[in-house]
Amino acid sequence: MIIMDIKADNLYAFKNFHMNMSYPKKIVDSTISEEYLNDRQNFRYKKVNIIMGGNATGKTSLGKLLMTFTNYFEDGMYKRFTSKIDNEKKHAFLKIDFVTNENRLYRFQLSVRPKAEVEYKEDDVDINVYFTPIGIRDNYENCAKRLDESDCNKISYDQINTSGWYFSYPQDAWKKKTYIPIEENEKYLYILKQILITLDPSIKDVIKVKEVDNTYAIKLDHCSVIIKDGQIANGEVLSSGTKAGLDISYIIASLVCDKHDLYYCDELFSYVNSDVEKACLSIMIEKLTGRKQLFFTTHNTEILDMQLPKHTFTFLKKDVRDIDLPIKCIHAEQYLKRNTDSLKNAVENDLFCTAPELHKLYEIADL
């Protein structure tokens, strides 16, 4: 699944939120290959979406909203959306344009009326999915225009092949963290070992425990750490960065094994060295073959030094004083037009006005 456009209102903290994943013209000698549909080269999409912003600007919420949307295609349950509504006395809206392995642009459209009773009823929720064919010369914009003008067909959610997705969040985002191995593929163990030893050189080996199903052992000098059914049995000897390596290993192995098409990595490298983060991100980008897409949130400004197209970077800004648009989406390429413009300099000079306000902190010094 490739996400092309998101519009959300009254879901989580998003109001009149809009984020677009198309880009206007092909980049010559781009470091990200094939940012277009393989047989529809005018239909361009941002294969890599690096999302930056301060705390509480919506990076995790955006991932959770997209996860709610993708999970809808498993069972068609409308209640997963009503639980995400911010103000139940107001209308809620979600529109997402996306592409799968078929040459069709789909539009998912959700509309929820204000709650009239104790619980939302099915009649309060309207969900429709439309599609239009993507022609040989079509780009996203003219396909979206056909959807806007209702020049399209309606389809049910269970008729769409979404091809799989994976969402990873910080460890404190869930009460119980489960790490997922790729049991049936031998490449997973190799990748897991390479990454964990890079993160913690004191690790001697990583092995699969043959006597117990779905169990791995991380061998250290004086003990072993057991991972069974995705749960770390005695993880107090592992650093937070090493634990993050379990998720990192799964994502890279999934890309190598062509397991999913859509990935959302939220602050996965918060406890990991910057050079390791850049190396892993470069591997992820290299393995994004075919119709795949990566969303990657980070606070690490060293990522800005990677030779990536400017349209790869999106900045989220929260402005609580703006009631109508509290979370704004800022696309770097709209500000930096020349190839010689430095993205890192722009961020360090706060061109996008996304730096946190620090005056409240400095007032502490006056006590």
Tens digits of residue pLDDT in 199-228 = 999 999 988 888 887 788 999 988 888 888
Half-sphere exposure of 246 (CA within 13 A, CB side): 26
Dist CA 314 CA 345 (whole Å)? 15
Phi, psi dihedral angles at 193 (to 5 degrees)? -65, -45
Quick one: CA dihedral 251, 258, 288, 14, positive or negative? negative
Dist CA 215 CA 231 (whole Å)? 9
Q: Residue 278 corresponds to which tokens in the numbers above? A: 């850049």
Question: In which region does residue 352 sit, left (phi positive, over 0), alpha (psi from -120 to 50) or beta (all else)?
Answer: alpha
Return the closest-CA partner of residue 344 out of 307, 289, 290.
307
Residue 359's pLDDT is: 84
**pTM of structure:** 0.91
Q: In the predicted model, what is the mean pLDDT of the chain?
A: 89
Dist CA 205 CA 192 (whole Å)? 10
State the DSSP code for 159.
G
Phi, psi dihedral angles at 284 (to 5 degrees)? -60, -45
Residue 176's pLDDT is: 58
Three-state DSSP at 276 gives helix
Dist CA 8 CA 16 (whole Å)? 6
Q: Mean pLDDT throughout 143-157?
A: 93
Answer yes or no: is pLDDT of 246 > 60: yes
